[in-house]
Amino acid sequence: MGPIWRPNFAQSAVLFFIAAGGLTFAAPRTTAAPPSRPVAFPLKVSQNKRYLVDQNGTPFLIVGDSPQGIVGRLTEKEAEAYFDDRAAHGFNTMGWINVVCAGHDYPTNTLAETPDGIRPFLSFLPGGKDYNYYDLSKPNEAYFVRLDHMVELATKHHFAVFIDPIETIGWRSTLRNNGVNVAYEYGRFLGRRYGGYANVMWVSGNDFGSWQASQDDALAKAAKEGFDSLFHTWLHRDDDSLVQAVARGIRDTAPQQLQTVELQPNTSSSFDDPAWRSLAELNGTYTYYPAYMQTLHSYNQSPTAPTFLMETRYEFDHDTDPPDDGTPYVLRKQEYWAMLSGATGEFYGNDLEWPFKDGWREKFDTAGVQQVEYWKDLFLSIPWQDLVPDQDHKILVSGSGSVCDAKSPVGKCDYAVAAKSSDGTVVLIYIPTRRVITVNLAALSHPAHATWFDPTSGEHKPVRADTFQNSGIKRFTPPGKNHSGDGDWVLLLRTESTNPPQAARAASR
Same domain, 424 and 347: no
Mean pLDDT of the 352-358 span = 95
Same domain, 246 and 377: yes
The yes-or-no verdict on residue 22 having pLDDT over 80 is no
**pLDDT interval class at 37 (50, 70, 90):** confident
**pLDDT interval class at 498 (50, 70, 90):** low
Same domain, 361 and 432: no
Which residues does 165 contact at the CB level (< 8 Å), separation at least 6? 99, 186, 187, 190, 202, 204, 246, 247, 250
Q: How far, CA to CA in Å, does 222 sit from each of 230, 267, 276?
A: 5, 11, 21
Asked whether residue 504 is domain-assigned, the answer is no
Asked whether residue 3 is domain-assigned, the answer is no
The yes-or-no verdict on residue 228 having pLDDT over 70 is no
Phi, psi for 229 (deg, rounded to 5): -85, -5
Q: Name the residue range of residue 163's domain.
A: 9-385
CATH of residue 123: 3.20.20.80
**pLDDT interval class at 508 (50, 70, 90):** very low
Asked whether residue 435 is domain-assigned, the answer is yes
pLDDT in tens, 48-71: 999 999 999 999 999 999 999 999
Higher pLDDT, 141 or 34: 141
Asked whether residue 434 is domain-assigned, the answer is yes
Same domain, 127 and 164: yes
pLDDT in tens, 100-117: 999 999 999 999 999 999
Residue ending a domain, choose from 360, 385, 410: 385
Mean pLDDT of the 204-214 span = 70
Q: How many whole angstroms separate alpha carbon 173 and alpha carbon 179?
A: 10
3-state SS, residue 312: coil
Q: How many whole angstroms separate alpha carbon 65 and alpha carbon 59?
A: 19
The yes-or-no verdict on residue 477 having pLDDT over 80 is yes
The yes-or-no verdict on residue 8 having pLDDT over 90 is no
Asked whether residue 177 is domain-assigned, the answer is yes
Q: DSSP string spanning 117-128? A: ---SBS-B-TT-
pLDDT in tens, 132-149: 999 999 999 999 999 999
Same domain, 452 and 483: yes
Same domain, 322 and 242: yes
Question: Is pTM beyond 0.85 here?
Answer: yes
Asked whether residue 189 is domain-assigned, the answer is yes
Mean pLDDT of the 366-392 span = 97
pLDDT in tens, 276-307: 999 999 999 999 999 999 999 999 999 999 99
Same domain, 211 and 180: yes
Mean pLDDT of the 173-178 span = 97
Asked whether residue 490 is domain-assigned, the answer is yes
Q: Which residue type, as a one-letter code, is found at position 145?
A: V
- The strand pair at 460-462 and 448-453 is best described as antiparallel
Residue ending a domain, choose from 385, 415, 437: 385
Mean of all residue pLDDT scores within the chain: 87
Cβ atoms within 10 A of the Cβ of 402, count?
A: 11
The yes-or-no verdict on residue 432 having pLDDT over 70 is yes
Q: Which residue type, as a one-letter code, is found at position 505?
A: R
Residue ending a domain, choose from 331, 352, 385: 385
Same domain, 288 and 158: yes
Mean pLDDT of the 431-440 span = 98
The yes-or-no verdict on residue 411 having pLDDT over 60 is yes
- Number of domains, the chain: 2
Same domain, 342 and 251: yes
Same domain, 375 and 269: yes
Q: Contact 164/203 with Cβ under 8 angstroms?
A: yes
The yes-or-no verdict on residue 84 having pLDDT over 70 is yes
Same domain, 453 and 377: no
Same domain, 189 and 249: yes
Asked whether residue 243 is domain-assigned, the answer is yes
pLDDT in tens, 117-132: 999 999 999 999 999 9
Burial of 15: CB neighbours in 10 Å, binned 0-12, 13-18, 19+: exposed
